[in-house]
Structure 1
Amino acid sequence: MKAANLGVLFLVELGALAGAAYWGFTRDVASPLAWLLGLAAPALLIGLWAQFGARKARHPLHGAARVGFEALWFGAGALALLAAGAPVWALALAVLVVVSKSLAVKWGQ
């Protein structure tokens, strides 16, 4: 069960990135700008994760700062889906994040 949760954690990370990309690609703007937004939004999230969220982050966060960062980071993915007109996917991502992260804390993952 713990190993499965690690897989779910990875999938929700990808879901947040996919949500950000979907938001960018679905903007009602000129095609080149939509492409830029679709690539830049997940790139920004990746950069933030590399700086603060990854195991080998340059500036790793701990405790409440880590919880706040992850809430904002995963929340950005869910909000991007909501803003792109996919409320069911946004809710599904948010619920998966809450459940999986709660289990990860409980199990010390």
Structure 2
Amino acid sequence: MKAMKAANLGVLFLIELGAFAAAAYWGFTLDAPTPVTWLAGLGAPLVLIVLWALFGSPRARFKTRGAGRAAFEVLWFGAGVAALFAAGAWQWAVAFAALCVVSKTLAVVWGQ
């Protein structure tokens, strides 16, 4: 059980990175002029990084708890899923959403 909990902590970290990657993928795959795709590809994950630093990280400036924390995480990880859908990678979006639900559910059950 200890190994499963440790593995889930690793998965939690990877899905955080996955949300950043999904936002960047969306930006870089926009059907727009090159400067716009670069701005979106770098700017979208930057927005998620700032939001995570302010509200989601263990050392966040504004701590979220309970329902507020749950709402933040649904919106934050949902942004990664939505970015994949918007980029046309719906299979990856479904897989990412399922992984987020399973991992976050285990984290709540195990008190991570």
TM-score of Structure 1 vs Structure 2, range by shorter chain:
over 0.9
Q: 1:47-80 CA deviation, whole Å, 9 max, x = no partner?
A: 0000000000000100000000000000000000
- Which of the numbers 58, 62, 65 marks the counterpart of 2:61? 58
Q: Could you list the runs of 4 or more consecutive aligned residues of structure 1 that deviate by over 3 angstroms after TM superposition?
A: none
Give % identity: 66
Q: Could you tell me how far 1:32 is from its partner in structure 2? A: 1.1
Other-structure match for 1:25:
28
RMSD: 0.4
Q: Could you tell me how far 1:97 is from its partner in structure 2? A: 0.4
Q: 1:13-52 CA deviation, whole Å, 9 max, x = no partner?
A: 1111110000000001110110010000000000000000
- The reply to whether residue 68 of structure 1 matches residue 71 of structure 2 is yes
Distance 1:61 1:19 in 2: 24
Q: 1:72-104 CA deviation, whole Å, 9 max, x = no partner?
A: 000000000000000010011100000000000
Query: Is the partner of 1:27 in helix, strand or coil?
Result: coil
Distance 2:63 2:93 in 1: 27
Distance 2:63 2:52 in 1: 10
For 2:31, the aligned partner's letter is D
Other-structure match for 1:37:
40
**How many aligned residue pairs are there?**
109
Other-structure match for 1:10:
13
Structure 2 alignment gaps of length 5 or more: none
